[in-house]
Amino acid sequence: MATDTDHTFDIVVIGLGPGGEYLAGTLAERGLRVLAVDRNLVGGECPYWGCIPSKMMIRAADSLAEARRVEGLAGSVGEVRPDWSVVAKRIREEATDSWNDQVAVDRLTKKGATVLHGTGRITGPGEVDVDGTTYAATKGVVVNPGTTPSVPPIEGLRETPYWTNHEIIEADELPDSLVVLGGGAIGCELSQVMARFGVEVTVVEAADRILSLEEPEASEKLVAALEADGITVRTGVGAEKVSHDGSSFTITLADGSTLEAERLLVATGRRADPAAVGLDAVGVPSDARTAPVDDRCRVTDGVWAVGDITGKGAFTHVSMYQAGIVVRDVLGDDGPPAEYAALPRVTFTDPEVGAVGMTEAQAREKLANVEVGVTPLGETTRGWIAKADGFIKVVADADRGILVGATAMGPAGGEVLGALAVAVHGQVPVDRLRSMIYAYPTLHRGIETALAQLD
Ligand SMILES: Cc1cc2nc3c(=O)[nH]c(=O)nc-3n(C[C@H](O)[C@H](O)[C@H](O)COP(=O)(O)OP(=O)(O)OC[C@H]3O[C@@H](n4cnc5c(N)ncnc54)[C@H](O)[C@@H]3O)c2cc1C
């Protein structure tokens, strides 16, 4: 907590998600007087209720699935008995320090920043209120307040003890059954974890497919994978009513059918609120859903925004990328402006879905001449050996002769994605990509055969 009585700083950072924490520390190390404010834990969602604990859960669930694959490949391992307490302990002790941010506070303080736990709000140019105390920011204010779970207006839902990502990640014990509202990346990842630990899971997605922002082929294959894990996937039907009788939930769907479950997880997206952090005081419309930023992440003179609130991609890597741009802008250093054409994203299901840039449908909407190539993983030697399901798809702008998007779905799809992200970001000519040597027998050799299908 701040003991500083000086209320004037060069930079005030409101919200310390991954980007805010990084830039507060970096600017302090560069000698600026930085006030870093968070109303909860320094580091934000990612280390405490997001990426890191969820990936720990996924690693554990994948190890169970891998053990079960011994049969058919290598013999038998006897009975595989899941024990959630091992995962819960690891999340508590190794990932989150029992949801305590003292280590992060100390790290930031050591870099020279003044850290304050409290709720910050811009009240005017260069002026911030933190729980009733006014601070001046002579160089400017950076907001990194993230998002909160978006809870849909379903009759009865708000009166029930539904779970969000916070409760499921903090869970010491798992329920017998779970309904997951929302078939996006978070809903799919957590559903698969739960199912692999023996929970009876139903996913309800109002859109006509899960992972609706990615390629349809990925949605189709992921449904098959989730079903193989025993998950029931209901698409094209939303929930209309939710009730809780003290021990279990009843969810009534739009088609009149009902689902019963011990727990209900709401994973229907995230909501940003720019006005809550005071961006309306510097000209952002009070009903704006995201903070409008230019290619230096400036909202207006002396105000920057980074992370989920910018609407450029709700990922830790976007938050960190934008933080780097803000650091340079504040310090007056040169550097490339923000660009998002090669935005990578990974859904860490098994199989993993790694994607970069545009999907085929997005490309066809924007470009006159689009070509695609698809390699089923089973047609690569390594995919066949591994009995791996998935595909590699490349989307090319035929007029420019470059890739504008790609998907790698399969084991380590997010790693195979690396090569495709370089191609899209670097705008490497397709002919040049075709002329390179692809190691044998790798999954990424599927890129070569997908490229061969382009004219
Ligand atoms: C279950 C789950 C899994 C995820 N997995 C991944 C993944 O694998 N990879 C990935 O890239 N991303 C993942 N994400 C997304 C990732 O967590 C976020 O994109 C990331 O945390 C970046 O968010 P942010 O920088 O906008 O801020 P956040 O991390 O949301 O942090 C914002 C901080 O601001 C604080 N705050 C808000 N308002 C105020 C205020 N007025 N005053 C003071 N403090 C305030 C909050 O307390 C919080 O600490 C996942 C998210 C979830 C929920």
CA distance 274 to 287: 8
Give the atom of ligand 1 at the shortest distance from the alpha carbon of 165: 1
**Which helix (H) or strand (E) covers residue 380, if one does?**
none
Region 325-336 average pLDDT: 96
**Which helix (H) or strand (E) covers residue 34, if one does?**
strand 34-38
Q: Is the CB of 187 under 6 A from ligand 1?
A: no
Ligand 1, pocket-test mutation among 16, 51, 100, 129, most atoms within 8 A of CB:
51
CA distance 183 to 342: 24
Q: Is the CB of 290 under 6 A from ligand 1?
A: no
Region 248-265 average pLDDT: 98
pLDDT at position 26 over 80: yes
Q: Are 143 and 304 in contact (CB under 8 A)?
A: yes
- Cα-to-centroid distance, 146 and ligand 1 (Å): 5
Q: Provide the token pair at 301.
A: 């003179």
Region 154-171 average pLDDT: 98
Q: Are 307 and 17 in contact (CB under 8 A)?
A: yes
pLDDT single digits (tens) 128-147: 999 999 999 999 999 999 99
DSSP percent split of the chain into helix, strand, coil, nearest 5: 35, 25, 40
Least confident of 1-15, 240-254, 277-291: 1-15
What pLDDT does residue 5 have?
A: 54
Region 220-241 average pLDDT: 98
Q: Are 431 and 452 in contact (CB under 8 A)?
A: no
- Cα-to-centroid distance, 41 and ligand 1 (Å): 10
What pLDDT does residue 6 have?
A: 79
Task: Show the DSSP H helices in 69-164 as ranges.
Answer: 84-90, 102-110
Q: Provide the token pair at 263.
A: 């727990």
pLDDT single digits (tens) 165-211: 999 999 999 999 999 999 999 999 999 999 999 999 999 999 999 99
Give the atom of ligand 1 at the shortest distance from the alpha carbon of 190: 1
Q: Give, in order, the Cα–Cα distances in Å from 21 to each of 113, 206, 293, 324, 450.
A: 10, 36, 19, 11, 40
- Cα-to-centroid distance, 46 and ligand 1 (Å): 5
Least confident of 72-76, 100-104, 382-386, 415-419: 72-76
- Cα-to-centroid distance, 366 and ligand 1 (Å): 31
Ligand 1, pocket-test mutation among 45, 168, 180, most atoms within 8 A of CB:
45
Q: Is the CB of 278 under 6 A from ligand 1?
A: no
**Which helix (H) or strand (E) covers residue 345, if one does?**
strand 344-347
% of the chain surpassing 70 pLDDT: 99
**Which helix (H) or strand (E) covers residue 45, if one does?**
helix 45-49
What pLDDT does residue 116 have?
A: 98
CA distance 335 to 82: 49
Q: Is 61 helix (H, G, I), strand (E, B) or coil?
A: helix
Q: Are 42 and 16 in contact (CB under 8 A)?
A: yes
What pLDDT does residue 1 have?
A: 38
Q: Give, in order, the Cα–Cα distances in Å from 156 to each of 89, 181, 239, 270, 455.
A: 34, 14, 11, 20, 54
CA distance 29 to 22: 11
Q: Note the pTM of the prediction, 2 decimals.
A: 0.97
Ligand 1, pocket-test mutation among 22, 35, 41, 46, most atoms within 8 A of CB:
46
- Atom 38 (ligand 1) nearest CA: 145
Beta bridge partners, 261, equal: 249
Query: Which one, of 197, 228, 233, lies nearest residue 80 by Cα?
Result: 197
Query: Where do we find the tokens 């449904």?
Result: 223
pLDDT at position 2 over 80: no
* pLDDT band at 3; cut points 50, 70, 90: very low
Q: What is the DSSP letter of 196?
A: H
Query: Where do we find the tokens 């490497």?
Result: 428
Give the atom of ligand 1 at the shortest distance from the alpha carbon of 307: 26
Long-range Cβ contacts of 234-238 (<8 Å, 24+ apart)? 234/202, 234/203, 234/204, 234/205, 235/183, 235/205, 235/207, 235/208, 235/209, 235/210, 236/205, 236/206, 236/207, 236/208, 237/204, 237/206, 238/152, 238/154, 238/204, 238/206
Q: Is the CB of 140 under 6 A from ligand 1?
A: no
> How high is the mean pLDDT of the chain?
97
Q: Is the CB of 307 under 6 A from ligand 1?
A: yes
Q: Is 269 helix (H, G, I), strand (E, B) or coil?
A: coil
CA distance 67 to 196: 11
